[in-house]
A = this chain, B = another copy of it.
Amino acid sequence: MAAIEPLNDTERAEALDGLAEWDYDDSRDAITRTIVFSDFVEAFGFMTQVAMLAEKADHHPEWKNVYNRVDILLTTHDAGGLSERDIELAEAIDGVLGED
C-alpha cells in the first residue's frame, strides 16, 4: 500500500465543506463529531455498525461513549494528520446515520 499523505489545506477545506456535521480540530489535525442517541442501546448499536466498517477499511476511530453519547475523532496516525481515509470513514459514519 502506498504511503498515506495528510491532506493539504485546499484538500482539507474541500473535504470539510462536504462534511457539514463534523468539526475540525486544529490541535490534532483531526475531525470530530458528537452524536447523542436516545439511549445506550442505540448508541452502542451505532458503534457496532461503525466498528464493522472501520475494521473492513482497516481504519479506526478514536471514540468515547457515555450512555447515549458518542464522541468520535478521526485522524490518521500513519499520516501524522487528517487524510483521505478519515474523510471516507466520516462519510461512511454519516451513512450509518442515514445522512448519505
Contacts and interface: CB of A to CB of B under 8 A. Distances in A.
Interface of A: 40-41, 44, 47-48, 51, 54-55, 60-67
A70 to B, nearest CB: 11
B67 A64 contact: no
Contacts of A60: 40, 66-67
Q: How many of these chains are in the complex?
A: 2
Contact of A64 (B40, B51, B54, B62): B62
A66 B51 CA distance: 11
A55 B41 contact: yes
A67 B44 CA distance: 16
Contact of A65 (B48, B55, B63, B66): B63
Those 5 A-B pairs whose CB atoms lie nearest each other, nearest first: A64-B64, A62-B66, A44-B51, A60-B67, A40-B60
A53 to B, nearest CB: 12
